[in-house]
Homo-oligomer: A and B are copies of this chain.
Amino acid sequence: MRFVLVAGTTHTATIEGISAAGADPELMLHTPAADAEIVEYGQPVYAPTTPVSPTGCPTPAVITRAVHELVAPDALVVDAGLARRTAAPTVTVGERPGADVRDPEPVPGATDVFEAARELGRGLPDEELVVGESIPGGTTTAFGVLTALGEPHGVSSSLPENPLTLKREVVATALDESGLDAGDAAGEPIRAIQSMGDPVLAAVSGLTIGAIETGGEVTLAGGTQMIAAGALVRHFDVHAPLGLATTSFVADDETADVQTAARALDLDLTVTDPGFDRSDHVAMERYRRGEAKEGVGMGGALMLAARDGIPMDEVRTRIERCYDPLVEDDGP
């Protein structure tokens, strides 16, 4: 088994109020690079700070790191278009950040990213991949892709109050600019990514299909962005078994209805509850209030911990130990 984190950026994240994956739009461009460093080293290296939401909720990278310390999976970071450098070792499948989804063609290199990731997926020797993502603004591009594909599923949010009206407006403008109506890209997944998506969705779907083509099993680790990735895989006409591992925070989000979407797309859903209601620690209490919810493969990491028989109280203790030095050392 190998845990793969696909990290990239979309300028969609800089739309005011669209994402909580960083304290401000400038810092948000650092978030995926910082997330990769936290998973790899337990702390930022080149990134100026540990990503937090505007209200101070720490990145789910801290939770994934904590599980990695306990489970020690083989791990791989895939760079699908980072906007800032990272000290985490990466395999690059895309060089360019995605443009704002409202651009006519936010991911012009979708085919290249998809094919590079597919080749990597074919080459990896692992029988099982668990694939997470880090891309601020990614639920909006996921919503764009689902809409272009004609898939009726909603998306979740890293904000406690999902800015659905804003997302719908952004996606409506994006469709317009791309000359598409909802459903126009059904059966044309590359077109959906190119016109309405982000480079991480290109990489995740390519990696998944490459691994499946060589007999591998894949679990998409995430929330509604991974619903979009799963929908893309199905629209590539790949109908092999495919897992989706997410957190109870996403599963409980009524704006998303991940259960219905997973059923419709034939994704084998695993929901893991890390029991944060049994902790008052600052790294966990904001999740209880509906912030962050998912990201950086958090749901997949929690699934791996559960599968290895690691009690969730041990996971929570480890999260505290991972989080505390990050706050002390915070700042550039």
Contact = CB atoms under 8 A, between A and B. Distances in A.
Contact of A90 (B41, B90, B120): B90
Interface string A33-49: 00000000111011000
A46 B77 CA distance: 17
* Chain A interface mostly: loop
A311 interface: no
Contacts of A41: 124-125
A115 to B, nearest CB: 14
Contacts of A43: 125
A140 B86 CA distance: 33
A89 B77 contact: yes
Copies of this protein, total: 2
Interface residues of A, number: 18
A123 interface: yes
A124 B42 CA distance: 10
Interface in A27-82: 41-43, 45-46, 72, 76-77
Contacts of A46: 123
A265 B77 CA distance: 38
A259 to B, nearest CB: 34
Contacts of A76: 89
B89 A91 contact: yes
Interface of A: 41-43, 45-46, 72, 76-77, 86-91, 120, 123-125
